């Protein structure tokens, strides 16, 4: 029986007469056979009803004398133990199932066992939920869990989903959905989402804080009962944390040694990243410090690898945090799988991870491990039916050569990582002194570019595409420039590479689309016929979710018809074999009425393949063919053949970079082809482009008049 002390607070001990979990369980689980026979069923129902009422009354009594909690707690404790057993059993079954070379018959048996286990677990969980919600408000104002802050059902659902996602890749195809749960013996936090984790963290922190003053504890205990029980329901379901919480519930105010133990446990938990189960920043720093203390700078070497995921942010932003979490968990798993025993991996927060190689050996070995990590992060993953292709940038710093303390090592690795990211290199990058200077330079350039975008210093120039004789306008290509306050007009080659490295390319491209559409609309409104507006695309822009929708929306805002827009994609981007193919996206754009041009056509090795693609409307033959005409006269024949092929396949052709009349003469271009080059016009400011259209008009008028 729960005993009472003078001040009336209840101490929670096991109660032999308590309503056990099993009796609560029976209330909710009528025997299957009773359902089969009418009379017996009715009798059973009546008994059940009576039992429910009486147990309710019993419970009320308990509540009144403040022992109901004790009852509830001990029955819940039993249930919790049962749940843990189920979880462990299930985990073992799953592990067994995932062994290589499965024996089909045995596998089927295992699946059946797992399904049965899962059913029992679900049933018991339902009982647990009800048992906790059943406790009533007593006269002495014990309020138990009438409204737990987190719904258990949601938590269970989340756990199951998370586990399924985490195992989607490696699990054998199950014949039904299997809830795969983290092993509570290992790290109960593995299978929960951020919000549950933060609830648990909050509860833990609170407990720790409250426990410091024992005198206060009793009072707080009473006041916080409601809230704590709410947390307890969360904690029960996340395994280990419950084990901490439970002894506290039973012994608060008396057994402070146990509280100490719990506190140690909490500290241990505080050392792990709740989402991925990896070490967190604090424990990583400890680990590095320990290694440094134990190492001899004469003979020992260790390496720190800082890993930052590429293209993670858009996933989080677009598909939500659950998807983002699933990605992080999977990435953590991949990094871990790339390491040797004894290597340490931690999550710094966000999408940053750190690996410590305590006995790093040669830099060749470090590089190999870095490469292995990069390769594993680059593999396509599928989450919630979406295919994601991320990657990771890896920077390495070596002790004691690059730095002798933790901070130094981490910041050196960070610089190297930064360099890896901006250079887009397929390799881990090692820190060196030159790097520090170079990075400082680039960082200031990037900062300036960010400022420039914010302050509207970018401008568009427009280069016309015309017919061979220069009399008809086909359209304009929008070309971006940076109108720098002190350096003057900067060409795209002078700042787009920086923009790309700094991850600003998508933002700039969106800006270009918007301004080009605005200009097109303004010209049309002023009575011009500007033809089409071509906009240069980049891989980073096209990799954004729903990018075509974005472009169409911008066009619509300015009332520009999709068919007036041309997306120029370089042949290089179209042909990148190790990246997600861009053709389906372009087909979608083409289907929505946008037109697609292959930029730099003819430079790549697979040019002719693009000719077959129905989504491609326009080929822009690269300037190189025209530039080298004098030294390579056969270029004229090549260009001629490309124009002819395009004609047969019903595609338009633009010949770029025609600078002189001689070149034009050598090219013998048919009337079908359009030309773009300095011979006709340089890229022009908007007002000059308008003047260009006026001149074309004026040249056309006399002819029209003559014809009329
Ligand atoms: P691109 O797409 O091949 O653009 C055509 C480039 O050729 C332009 O250089 C244009 O000024 C230049 N050009 C045109 N006719 C002639 C000619 O007769 N002779 C010579 N020598 N050059 C000619 P620009 O404006 O410096 O742009 C360079 C590159 O920068 C572009 O090559 C394009 O790849 C990129 N770019 C420009 N604007 C944008 C933009 O808004 N977004 C993106 N993503 N890239 C852009
Ligand atoms: Ca272009
Ligand atoms: Ca081009």
| Contact present, 621 and 601 (Cβ < 8 Å) | yes
Task: Decide the pairing of beta strands 352-357 and 302-310.
Answer: antiparallel
- Phi and psi at residue 280, in whole multiples of 5°? -100, -175
Report the sign of the C-alpha dihedral through residues 53, 58, 62, 64, in that order. Answer: positive
Q: What is the pLDDT of residues 585-628, one digit of tens each?
A: 999 999 999 999 999 998 877 677 777 889 999 999 999 999 98
**For 140-149, 481-490, 558-567, which range has the lowest pLDDT when averaged over its residues?**
140-149
With 0-12 / 13-18 / 19 or more C-beta atoms within 10 angstroms meaning exposed / middle / buried, residue 258 is: middle
Choose between 259 and 391: higher pLDDT.
391
Choose between 8 and 533: higher pLDDT.
533
Please state the rounded mean pLDDT for residues 84-102.
61
Which residue's alpha carbon is at the smallest distance from atom 42 of ligand 1? 536
| Contact present, 399 and 303 (Cβ < 8 Å) | yes
Task: Decide the pairing of beta strands 532-536 and 565-570.
Answer: parallel
> Of all residues in the chain, what percent carry a pLDDT higher than 90?
37
Rounded to whole angstroms, the Cα distance separating 648 from 669 reads 15
CB atoms within 10 A of CB 260: 11
| Axis-axis angle for helices 152-167, 214-237 (nearest 10) | 50
503 lines ligand 1 (CB under 6 A): no
514 lines ligand 1 (CB under 6 A): no
What pLDDT does 54 receive? 32
| Contact present, 389 and 334 (Cβ < 8 Å) | no
Q: What is the pLDDT of residues 444-461, one digit of tens each?
A: 888 899 999 989 999 999
534 lines ligand 1 (CB under 6 A): no
Tokens matching residue 379: 């593999």
- Which of 94, 232, 114, 92 is CA-nearest to residue 163? 94
**For 124-128, 180-184, 287-291, which range has the lowest pLDDT when averaged over its residues?**
180-184
What pLDDT does 84 receive? 57
What's the angle, vertex CA 233, arms to CA 232 and CA 239, rounded to 5? 80
257 lines ligand 1 (CB under 6 A): no
| Contact present, 344 and 358 (Cβ < 8 Å) | yes
pLDDT of 707 over the 60 cut: no
Q: How confident is the model at residue 109 (pLDDT cuts 50, 70, 90)?
A: low
Q: What is the mean pLDDT of the chain?
A: 72
pTM: 0.53
Rounded to whole angstroms, the Cα distance separating 612 from 600 reads 17
DSSP per-residue string spanning 51-86: HHHHHHHHHHHHHHTT-HHHHHHHHHHHHHHHHHHH
CB atoms within 10 A of CB 372: 16
What pLDDT does 125 receive? 54
Choose between 130 and 647: higher pLDDT.
647
Strands across the sheet with 302-310, in order?
Answer: 344-349, 352-357, 302-310, 391-399, 429-430
Span from the CA of 466 to the centroid of ligand 1 (angstroms): 16
Q: What is the pLDDT of residues 643-688, one digit of tens each?
A: 888 888 899 999 999 999 999 998 878 888 999 999 999 999 999 9
466 lines ligand 1 (CB under 6 A): no
Residue 301 falls in which region: left (phi positive, over 0), alpha (psi -120 to 50) or beta = beta
622 lines ligand 1 (CB under 6 A): no
What pLDDT does 701 receive? 74
400 lines ligand 1 (CB under 6 A): no
What's the angle, vertex CA 351, arms to CA 544 and CA 398, rounded to 5? 125
> Of all residues in the chain, what percent carry a pLDDT higher than 70?
60
What's the angle, vertex CA 625, arms to CA 621 and CA 627, rounded to 5? 120
Best substitution site from 461, 466, 492, 534 to test ligand 1's pocket, by max atoms within 8 Å of Cβ? 492
| Axis-axis angle for helices 194-211, 214-237 (nearest 10) | 160
- Which of 272, 284, 283 is CA-nearest to residue 239? 272
Please state the rounded mean pLDDT for residues 153-180.
38
Which residue's alpha carbon is at the smallest distance from atom 20 of ligand 1? 657
What pLDDT does 88 receive? 63
Q: What is the pLDDT of residues 697-706, one digit of tens each?
A: 888 776 555 5
**For 97-106, 512-521, 558-567, which range has the lowest pLDDT when averaged over its residues?**
97-106
Which residue's alpha carbon is at the smallest distance from atom 27 of ligand 1? 492
What pLDDT does 199 receive? 45
Tokens matching residue 216: 């206060």
Span from the CA of 646 to the centroid of ligand 3 (angstroms): 17
- CA 170 to chain centroid, in Å, comes to 20
Residue 167 C-beta-side C-alpha neighbours within 13 Å? 23
657 lines ligand 1 (CB under 6 A): yes
| Contact present, 374 and 392 (Cβ < 8 Å) | yes
Residue 505 Cα: closest atom of ligand 1: 44
DSSP per-residue string spanning 241-281: HHHHHHHHHHHTTT-HHHHHHHHHHHHHHTTB-TTT-SB-H
Residue 182 C-beta-side C-alpha neighbours within 13 Å? 27
| Contact present, 149 and 199 (Cβ < 8 Å) | yes
What pLDDT does 81 receive? 59
Q: How confident is the model at residue 101 (pLDDT cuts 50, 70, 90)?
A: low
Q: What is the pLDDT of residues 274-331, one digit of tens each?
A: 788 899 888 899 999 999 999 998 889 999 999 999 988 888 777 888 888 899 999 9
Rounded to whole angstroms, the Cα distance separating 456 from 453 reads 5
Measured from the alpha carbon of residue 567, the closest ligand is 2
Q: What are the CA-CA distances from residue 114 to residues 52, 94, 547 (Å)?
A: 32, 8, 43
pLDDT of 202 over the 60 cut: no
Helix (H, G, I), strand (E, B) or coil at 683: coil
677 lines ligand 1 (CB under 6 A): yes
| Contact present, 530 and 693 (Cβ < 8 Å) | yes
DSSP lists the bridge partners of residue 96 as none
Residue 17 C-beta-side C-alpha neighbours within 13 Å? 8
Q: How confident is the model at residue 116 (pLDDT cuts 50, 70, 90)?
A: low
Helix (H, G, I), strand (E, B) or coil at 134: helix
Span from the CA of 455 to the centroid of ligand 1 (angstroms): 23
With 0-12 / 13-18 / 19 or more C-beta atoms within 10 angstroms meaning exposed / middle / buried, residue 129 is: buried
Span from the CA of 599 to the centroid of ligand 2 (angstroms): 6
DSSP per-residue string spanning 561-578: -GGGEEEEEEHHHHH-TT
Tokens matching residue 339: 């390491």
- Which of 128, 105, 124, 126 is CA-nearest to residue 116? 124
What pLDDT does 517 receive? 98
- Which of 392, 379, 504 is CA-nearest to residue 451? 504
């Amino acid at each position: 029986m729960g005993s009472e002390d003078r001040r009336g607070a209840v101490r929670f001990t096991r109660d032999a007469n308590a309503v056990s979990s099993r009796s609560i369980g029976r209330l909710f689980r009528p025997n299957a056979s009773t359902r089969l026979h009418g009379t017996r069923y009715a009798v059973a129902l009546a008994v059940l009803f009576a039992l429910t009422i009486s147990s309710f009354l019993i419970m009320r009594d308990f509540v009144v004398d403040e022992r109901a909690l004790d009852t509830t707690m001990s029955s819940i404790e039993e249930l919790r133990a049962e749940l843990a057993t189920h979880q462990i059993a299930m985990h073992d079954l799953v592990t067994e199932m995932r062994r290589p070379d499965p024996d089909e018959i045995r596998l089927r048996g295992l699946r059946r066992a797992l399904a049965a286990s899962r059913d029992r677990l679900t049933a018991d969980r339902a009982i647990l939920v009800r048992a906790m919600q059943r406790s009533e408000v007593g006269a002495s104002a014990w309020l138990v869990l009438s409204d737990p802050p987190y719904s258990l059902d949601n938590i269970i659902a989340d756990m199951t989903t998370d586990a399924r996602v985490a195992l989607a890749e490696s699990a054998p195809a199950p014949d039904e959905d299997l809830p795969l749960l983290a092993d509570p013996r290992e790290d109960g936090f593995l299978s929960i989402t951020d919000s549950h984790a933060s609830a648990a963290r909050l509860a833990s922190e609170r407990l720790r804080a409250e426990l410091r003053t024992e005198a206060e504890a009793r009072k707080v205990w009473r006041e916080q009962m409601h809230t704590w029980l709410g947390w307890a329901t969360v904690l029960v379901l996340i395994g280990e944390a419950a084990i901490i919480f439970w002894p506290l519930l039973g012994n608060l105010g008396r057994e402070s040694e146990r509280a100490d133990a719990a506190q140690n446990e909490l500290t241990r938990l505080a050392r792990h990243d709740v989402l991925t189960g990896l070490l967190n920043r604090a424990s990583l720093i400890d680990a590095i410090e320990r290694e440094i203390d134990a190492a001899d700078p004469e003979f020992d070497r260790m390496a720190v690898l800082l890993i930052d995921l590429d293209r993670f942010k858009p996933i989080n932003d677009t598909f939500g945090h659950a998807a983002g979490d699933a990605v992080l968990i999977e990435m953590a798993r991949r990094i871990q799988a790339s390491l040797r025993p004894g290597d340490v991996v931690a999550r710094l927060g966000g999408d940053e991870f750190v690996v410590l190689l305590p006995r790093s050996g040669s830099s060749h070995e470090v590089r190999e491990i870095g490469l292995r990590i990069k390769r594993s992060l680059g593999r396509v993953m599928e989450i919630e039916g979406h295919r994601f292709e991320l990657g990771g940038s890896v920077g390495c710093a070596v002790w004691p050569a690059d730095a002798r303390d933790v901070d130094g090592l981490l910041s050196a690795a960070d610089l190297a990582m930064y360099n890896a990211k901006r250079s887009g290199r397929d390799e881990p990058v090692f820190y060196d002194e030159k790097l520090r200077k170079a990075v400082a330079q680039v960082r200031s350039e990037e900062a300036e570019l960010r400022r420039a975008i914010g302050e509207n210093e970018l401008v568009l120039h427009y280069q016309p595409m015309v017919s061979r004789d220069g009399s008809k306008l086909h359209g304009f290509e929008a070309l971006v420039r940076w109108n720098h306050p002190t350096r003057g007009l900067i060409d795209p080659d002078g700042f787009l590479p920086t923009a790309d490295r700094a991850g600003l390319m998508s933002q700039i491209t969106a800006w270009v689309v918007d301004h080009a559409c605005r200009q097109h609309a303004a010209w049309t409104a002023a009575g011009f016929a500007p033809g089409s507006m071509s906009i240069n695309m980049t891989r980073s822009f096209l990799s954004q979710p729903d990018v075509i929708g974005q472009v169409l929306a911008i066009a619509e805002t300015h009332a520009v018809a999709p068919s007036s827009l041309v997306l120029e994609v370089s042949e290089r981007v179209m042909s990148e074999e190790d990246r997600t193919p861009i053709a389906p996206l372009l087909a979608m754009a083409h289907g929505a009425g946008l037109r697609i041009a292959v930029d730099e056509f003819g430079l790549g090795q697979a040019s002719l393949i693009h000719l077959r693609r129905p989504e491609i409307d326009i080929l822009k033959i690269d300037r190189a063919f025209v530039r080298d005409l004098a030294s390579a006269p056969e270029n004229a024949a090549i260009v001629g053949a490309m124009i002819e092929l395009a004609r047969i396949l019903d595609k338009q052709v633009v010949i770029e970079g025609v600078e002189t009349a001689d070149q034009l003469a050598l090219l013998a271009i048919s009337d079908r082809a359009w030309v773009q080059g300095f011979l006709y016009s340089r890229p022009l400011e908007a007002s000059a482009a308008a003047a260009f259209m006026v001149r074309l008009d004026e040249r056309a008028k006399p002819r029209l008049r003559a014809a009329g």
